[in-house]
A = this chain, B = another copy of it.
Amino acid sequence: MKKTRKTIQKELIFETVRQMKNHPTAEQLCQEIQKRHPTISKATVYRNLRQLSKIGKIKHIEMPDSADRFDHFTDNHYHIKCNICERVFDVDMPYFDKIAEMIKDNKGFKIETHDLVFKGVCRDCKKDKK
């Protein structure tokens, strides 16, 4: 297994994920980082996000219908996305280990992970509608 190196880019990407607590997309992270380090490329951002989530330093949130998000908070938890403003929020639902156990019969399937994303309308957007 190849070993990973410490680079300015990687440090910056990790730090930016820690600072942006709004579940940013790769694109949003890239734009934010480019304010301080204008030459960083999208490819580098994607590559490092992948690597950082593989080693568990950040969390990769796979969104079903839009760009994936990244999270500084790496404990198991779920998310809810507002269909109007597209923002993603954490959800207080401490049943991560319970969910897979709810399956009645998994036909010999070895379950490794599960992705659960809620969707709806956030409080702010409910207000705006009126």
- In the complex the two chains form, what is the Cα distance from A78 to B32 in whole Å? 37
Question: In the assembly, how many copies of this chain are there?
Answer: 2
Q: Which residues of B contact A102 (CB under 8 A)?
A: 93, 95
Interface core residue of A83, A92, A106 (most chain B CB under 10 Å)? A106
Q: How many residues on the A side are at the interface (Cβ–Cβ under 8 A)?
A: 38
> Is B83's CB under 8 angstroms from A93's CB?
no
Partner of A91 from B93, B103, B118 at Cβ < 8 Å: B103
Interface segment out of the listed A7-15, A17-25, A45-53, A60-68: A60-68
> Is B122's CB under 8 angstroms from A118's CB?
no
Q: Say yes or no for A38: interface residue by CB 8 A criterion.
A: no
CB distance from A118 to the nearest CB of B (A): 5
Instruction: List residues of chain A with CB under 8 Å of any chain B CB.
Output: 62-65, 80, 82-83, 89, 91-95, 99-100, 102-123, 126
Query: Given A62-B64, A115-B119, 13 more contacts at CB 8 Å?
Result: A80-B109, A92-B106, A103-B118, A108-B126, A109-B118, A109-B122, A109-B123, A110-B121, A111-B118, A113-B119, A113-B120, A114-B117, A114-B118
